Amino acid sequence: MRRRRKQTAEGKGASALKKAKPGESSTAQAGAPQSRYPPFSTSGKINDLQKWNEECHKISDMLEKDPDRIRYAAMEPKDSGTTNSVQSPGDKMMILRAARGVVHVSIMHDGERLPQCSGIIIRHWSETPACHHAIIVTCSEAVCIEGRKLDPLPKLSVGLSGKKTVLDAELLYLSDHYDIALLRISLDFPLELPSVGHGPEYGQEVFVLARDDDMSLGVRHGNVKWLEESNILGRDFYMFLSCDLPVGGNGGMVIDHSGKVRGMVVSWDPHPAVISISTIVKCDDMFRQFNRVARPILGLNVRTIAMLDVQLQEDLSDIDINSGYLIDKVQYDSDAENHGIKLGHVIISINGRDALTLPELEDYLLSIGLDYLRDNSMNDIKLIVCELRSGVRREVALPARFSDACQR
C-alpha cells in the first residue's frame, strides 16, 4: 500500500505543477549533469512538501532556459498554411531548390528597415571571380504608392535566402502597367538562378513562394483559375490564383510541380494575380538592350472567345466565329474608336493570330515593340473585325503607336 500511495501522490504533485514532469531531464551544456525532479516527499509534513514544490519550480525554470529545449521549440512549424501546402518529401526538395531564387525586399525609412515584399532572381552575371551582379524582379508596390514612385526614393535592401545576407539594391526600371520593378544588386559571390519555364497555363497546379519579415519561407498551393478579367486598368494579361498568399507574398515566385518559375504573383482583390514569367523576361531583355520597354497601344480591352461561356461560344459558332477576341471596351478617342471599332465587336485575328491567350497576346505585342526598337519600323497592326449584328467582316489597319508604360 505504501508504494501505491507514493505513485498516486507523485501523480497529484505533477498535475498541480504544470511545468513539473517527473523524470524529465535537461542537458543545458554538453557533459553537464542532468537536472531531475526530486522524488515526491512521503513524510506528510507541510514543510517537506513546500521544499519539494520549490525545488521542482527551480528545475522547471532551468529547463525553460535550456538551449536544447529552446532550439527544439524553434523547430515547430511557423506557418500552418505552408505546412498544409507542402506535404510530400519530393515537393519539399523541389521547393527548397526553387526557394534559393526567392528574396525579401525592404526599404529604409527613418533608420528603420521596413518589409515590403518578395522578389525573384531572374538574371546573374560576373565581372570578376569576386565581383558579381544580379537582377531582381519584384512588385512595383515595393517602391510605389498608388502607382506613383516614392519621392524621394528610399534606400532599398534585398535579403537573400539563408537569412544572413542583406544587400543594398538599385532601382533600374519601374512599370506601373506591368506592376514590376527591376532591381540590381552587387555581391562578392555567385548566385544560383532558378529554373525558368514558360508562362503559366490555365488550370495548372502551382506553388507560391515568398519570404516574410524574417526572410522565412512561406508557401501556398493552388491552381491557375479559368478566369479572364478585362477591366483591371488595362491589365488583360493577368491570370489569377485559387489560393491566398503567404506573408510577404507580393512579388513572390510562382512555380510548377517540376520547380520551374512560371510567373510572379501580385496581391489583388478578390484573387491574387499572376504575371507570366515570359512577359517579365521580355521586359528585362528589352530594357537591357534599349533602356526602355516599348509596347504598342491598341486602345482595347478584350477577352478571348475560348474563355467565354459555352452557350455564348455556341451562338458565335453559328456565325462561324470559333476563335479571336471579344471587345469589352474601346478607349475614348483611340485609333480603334476612330476606325469604327465598338464594344461587342469581335476581333477575328491580330496580324493573323487568332488563338493566343491574353498573356500570350501581351508577349506578342512586346515582340512587336522589340522589332520597333531594333529597326525603328512602325508597321500598321492589322485586325480582322466582325460586327456581330450584321456578321460583316472587315480589315482594320491600326497605326502602331508605342508607349513605355514605365517610370524610371
Q: How confident is the model at residue 70 (pLDDT cuts 50, 70, 90)?
A: low
- Please say if the pLDDT value at position 21 is more than 80: no
Where is average pLDDT lowest: 100-109, 216-225, 398-407? 398-407
Q: In whole angstroms, give the CA distance from residue 285 to residue 197.
A: 16
Q: In whole angstroms, give the CA distance from residue 383 to residue 164.
A: 54
Mean pLDDT of the chain: 86
pTM: 0.81
Q: Which residues have CB under 8 Å from 334's CB, separation 6+?
A: 297, 298, 299, 300
Summarize pLDDT for 87-126 with one digit per residue, the tens: 999 999 999 999 999 999 998 766 777 667 999 999 999 9
Share of the chain above pLDDT 70, in %: 86
Question: Where is mean pLDDT largest: 132-136, 143-147, 226-230, 291-295?
Answer: 132-136
Summarize pLDDT for 306-355 with one digit per residue, the tens: 999 999 999 999 999 999 999 999 999 999 999 999 998 999 999 999 98
Pick the CATH number of 89-187 from 3.40.1160.10, 3.40.50.300, 2.70.98.10, 2.40.10.10: 2.40.10.10
Side-chain-side CA neighbours of residue 212 (13 Å): 11
Cell of 236: 488583360
Q: How confident is the model at residue 406 (pLDDT cuts 50, 70, 90)?
A: low
Q: In whole angstroms, give the CA distance from residue 327 to residue 334.
A: 14
Q: In whole angstroms, give the CA distance from residue 280 to residue 256.
A: 17
Mean predicted confidence (pLDDT) in 30-47: 69
- Please say if the pLDDT value at position 377 is more than 90: no
Q: How confident is the model at residue 378 (pLDDT cuts 50, 70, 90)?
A: confident
pLDDT at 408: 41
Q: In whole angstroms, give the CA distance from residue 147 to residue 175.
A: 9
Q: What is the dihedral of CA 310, 311, 312, 316, to 10 degrees?
A: 100
Domains of the chain, by residue range, sit at 89-187, 293-405
Q: Identify any residues that bridge with 170 across adjacent strands, giving them in sequence order.
A: 184
Domain 293-405 coded CATH 2.30.42.10:
yes
Q: In whole angstroms, give the CA distance from residue 154 to residue 177.
A: 22
Please check whether residue 292 is in contact with residue 373, taking contact to mean a CB–CB distance below 8 angstroms: yes
Q: In whole angstroms, give the CA distance from residue 98 to residue 95.
A: 5
